[in-house]
A and B are shown apart, each in its own frame.
Chain A
Amino acid sequence: MSVIDLRDVTLELGGRAVLAGVSLEIANREFVGVLGPNGAGKTTLMRAVLGLVPVSRGSIQVLGRPAARGNPAIGYVPQVRSSVGTMRLSGWDFVAGVVNGHRLGLPIATKAVRAEVDRALALVGASELARRPLAETSGGERQRLLLAQALIGEPRLLLLDEPLISLDPHHQHAVVALVKSLQVELGITVLFSAHELNPLLGALDRVLYLGRGQAALGTVDEVITSAVLSRLYGSDIDVVRLKGRIFVMSGDQDVEHDVHRHGDGSAHSHELQGAQ
């Protein structure tokens, strides 16, 4: 049984078809890197799997059941929000707020709750830093706390929405390595979206590349080719391999570094996320 099964799926956002007639299957225990320019549908696809975005056509099945909100088998690491870095709450309480968080009642930390929080924190190596207030943690440390939150409830599928944003290369590698080791240790399926392919090269099994409403799923050698990417970007793409790394070029621009360029060709400036 596949973990995620898309059949002829069309996803619309703001009147635009983010995905048009896409069919694909993600198998159990796969580490899939989700790539594509801004606006290509990485976040929308994840939200659809979570049951937060309805399909206009087709169906999405997650672990054998239609995609629906509140699936306890899915862990989700959303894009980092700047307000988290100003909270005076401790990392421990931040993670504990997730345990049974959907049920009414008082947020009392029973022994079972404590055990679950400690287990998740230990998995990501954040047991010590969780005692500090969030405002006194770095970006990389907050990322680990978000990961701990996602592991509450022992999910079988982990969705990470661009966790490498605003992290320097050293921390990027640390996050990828941590997620990979968790994937292997817990035997779960991972969807990890990012702007750049290189930080993920050592960890992923397959690549899911999105662009202009289409999707290409396969190994790096199958998908990261000039033919496939030119079709997805809608312009001439060259794939350059140098010293074990891959560069996706459009003319003289590295399209993956040029993160301000959108999939439909428009470009505008973004506010930079605050440094850690």
Chain B
Amino acid sequence: MQDAFAAATIVAIVSGLVGYFLVLRGQTFAGHALAHVGFTGATGAVLFGLPPLWGLVLMTMAAGLGMGFLGERLAQRDVAIGIVLALSLGLGLLFLHFYTAFATQATAILFGNVLAVDVDTVWILLGLGIISIGVLAVISRPLLFASLQPELAEAKGVSLRLYSVLFLAVVALATAECAQIVGVLLVFALMVGPAAAAQRLTTGIGRGLLLSAGLALFQAWAGITLAFYTDWPSSFWITALSAATYMLATVPAMTRRSARLEPRAA
């Protein structure tokens, strides 16, 4: 139980912080795609007798760097990404087919099982987490500039491609970690949900980052606790909390907007 909470804490903080920039840059689909590609890496690793986590990390890093070098416009083509997604899952299925004693591990990789995380994995997650947050902290200023105003940033000497590649490498690491908790298919729940909710609740950057990490932390902890008491899967609770938080953050703005659209009394 302790390991589960420790792992969830590390991953939630990383996901919340990285996810904030993902939402800001409009690259959430790319994060989703990296997780799927990671599935191929994880199942491929098992086929070769290696721990799935390393396959996950290597594959997402390779894909992340590839997307960065391909250039943002090409890498965000939804058709191209969709095809890559389908191919990754198909390949992963093929690897599963060759390694028949793998069914339960497959479910864990796809949907996550935080309660099964062991202490060794926690240390690895801590290491990867420190690297991700460290790199993100160092590049955060130019990354923010390039995300808000790419043409002006370029004019001021910021290399858009460099920071795009570095950021996607960080996203790859964060996605691999996140998949340990909620699985490759549900990465959106921790990486996008809290960040999107945070950006609707506050307009400042520092506050947004803190809120994003805080919400992710709350969702992860509450998800594990609820799973412990109800025996329902933790990943379900985490995704449900993520959706609920996002809807709660969005509804007040929607009602405010429709109130403004009503004709004012003369």
Contact = CB atoms under 8 A, between A and B. Distances in A.
Nearest to B199: A88
Nearest to A150: B152
Given A70-B156, A89-B203, A89-B205, A97 B140 contact: no
Contact of B142 (A83, A94, A96, A103): A103
A61 to B, nearest CB: 17
B153 interface: yes
B149 A97 contact: yes
A171 to B, nearest CB: 21
Interface residues of B, number: 27
A78 B151 contact: yes
B156 A102 contact: yes
B148 A104 contact: no
A106 B141 contact: yes
Contacts of A74: 155
B141 A105 contact: yes
B118 interface: no
B208 to A, nearest CB: 8
A104 B143 CA distance: 9
A106 B137 CA distance: 6
Max chain B C-beta neighbours (<10 A), residue from A50, A98, A101, A131: A101
B156 A101 contact: yes
A93 B142 contact: no
B203 A93 contact: yes
A125 B163 CA distance: 33
Nearest to A49: B155
B203 A88 contact: yes
Which label, helix, strand, loop or mixed, suits the secondary structure of the A interface? loop
Contact of B139 (A96, A104, A131, A150): A104
Interface string B127-157: 0000000000111111011001101111111
Which label, helix, strand, loop or mixed, suits the secondary structure of the B interface? helix
B26 interface: yes
A72 B156 CA distance: 7
Contacts, number: 89
A178 B200 CA distance: 32
Contacts of B144: 97, 101, 107
B153 A93 contact: no
A70 B155 CA distance: 6
Contacts of B155: 50-52, 69-70, 74, 76, 78
B97 to A, nearest CB: 43
Interface in A242-274: none
Contacts of A21: none
A158 B2 CA distance: 58
Contact of A102 (B142, B148, B200): B142
Contact of B145 (A50, A70, A102): A102
Nearest to A93: B205
Contacts of A98: 145, 148-149, 152, 156
B203 A105 contact: no
Contact of A105 (B24, B140, B199): B140
A219 interface: no
A105 B138 contact: yes
Given A76-B151, A76-B152, A88-B200, A101 B205 contact: no
B158 interface: yes
Contacts of A108: 206
A74 B156 CA distance: 9
A98 B140 CA distance: 12
Nearest to A83: B26
A210 to B, nearest CB: 20
Contacts of A172: none
Interface in A24-79: 50-52, 69-70, 72, 74, 76, 78-79
B50 to A, nearest CB: 35
Contacts of A87: 24, 148
Max chain B C-beta neighbours (<10 A), residue from A69, A88, A94, A96: A88
Contacts of A102: 142, 145, 153, 156-158
Interface string B146-190: 001101111111100000000000000000000000000000000
Interface of B: 24, 26, 137-142, 144-145, 148-149, 151-158, 199-200, 203-206, 208
The 10 closest A-B pairs by CB, nearest first: A70-B157, A101-B145, A78-B151, A90-B203, A88-B199, A50-B155, A97-B148, A76-B155, A107-B141, A133-B203
Interface of A: 50-52, 69-70, 72, 74, 76, 78-79, 83, 87-90, 93-94, 96-98, 100-109, 131-133, 149-150
9 contacts: A69-B156, A83-B26, A88-B200, A88-B203, A93-B203, A98-B156, A104-B138, A105-B141, A107-B205
